[in-house]
Structure 1
């Protein structure tokens, strides 16, 4: 049982690290013009040699960008809270009970990540200025999509897991 618990904790921590990197790293959108330095854009800034805010990111027309930012931050926070709740429940629950509360929090975290990545997929060309139009999705975008099934399966494992001897 100790080995199973170690794998569950490791799986959860991998999901949390993936969410942190996807939220913080500056590579949601990448433009690589020929002969020039690549331009990387994340949810807040576009950077090449210097960083500048995304065009119109503070206006009402770009509220979906603010929703993406909020959903990714909320998903990361919920994933961390779920981990701490799981640790608390590990020592507080009676034998045979399930980790339902930590599972619900983890499933909400995966829902937030899915919402953020889906909105970014649908609206990514709307908030990029003309210099960023001809780009492609970056590593942080793909990491966000990979972290969705990781957090979802982690939440489902918590839901099915019973405390045993």
Structure 2
């Protein structure tokens, strides 16, 4: 049982780390001379432009930013609640609250990545100064990590739903 508990804790911490990296790092859309994320666009590694309200499509990026931050916070809260429930729940009870919060984190990450996937091309077309420079890019590792974090948080949420506290 101790090995299972250690695996669940490591799996949850890995999920949180993936969410932190996907939210913070600047590699959602990359190319040879640029990289862009939900916070800024950098050309030639020196010319970085913060994405603000003058950027066309800013509301879409704000939605992605908000849901990624919310998913990271929910994942951390779920871990804290898991630790509290580990010592407070009676034997045989399930970690339902932890599961619900972790599945909400999963939903937030899915929403953020789906919005970015759907609206990325429109965002670049609406900003012609950047579009000609960054149109020939690919999805970066932060974007891929967001989808991997979605899978990890989903599996983690299901594990908590099934898991019972045993001796």
Secondary structure (helix, strand or coil) at the match of 2:41 reads strand
Q: Residue 30 of structure 1 corresponds to which residue in structure 2?
A: 30
Give distance in 2, aligned partners of 1:149 and 1:4: 19
**C-alpha separation in 2, matches of 1:4 and 1:149:** 19
The Cα shift of 1:62 comes to 3.0
| Structure 2 length-normalised TM | 0.91
After TM superposition, the structure 1 = structure 2 runs for residues 9-158 of structure 1, keeping only pairs within 5 Å, are: 9-32=9-32, 38-47=33-42, 48-54=45-51, 57-58=52-53, 61-128=57-124, 129-130=130-131, 131-158=133-160
The whole-number CA distance in structure 1 between the counterparts of 2:36 and 2:161 is: 37
Partner of 1:97, secondary structure, is: coil
Tell me the secondary structure at the aligned position of residue 93 of structure 2. coil
- 3-state SS, counterpart of residue 26 of structure 2: coil
Instruction: Provide the rounded CA distance (Å) in 1 between the counterparts of 2:82 and 2:13.
Output: 12
2: CA distance, partners of 1:8 / 1:26: 29
Q: CA deviation at 1:58?
A: 1.6
Structure 1 unaligned segments of length 5 or more: list them. Answer: 33-37
Residue 61 of structure 1: how far off its partner (Å): 4.1
| Aligned-residue RMSD, C-alpha | 1.2
Q: CA deviation at 1:64?
A: 1.4
Q: Secondary structure at the match of 1:52?
A: strand
Query: 1:134, CA displacement in angstroms?
Result: 1.8
CA distance in 2, matches of 1:88, 1:50: 46
Q: What SS does the aligned partner of 1:164 have? A: coil
The gaps in structure 2 that reach 5 residues or longer are: 125-129
User: Could you tell me which residue of structure 2 aligns to residue 35 of structure 1?
Assistant: none
| SS of the residue 2:90 aligns to | coil
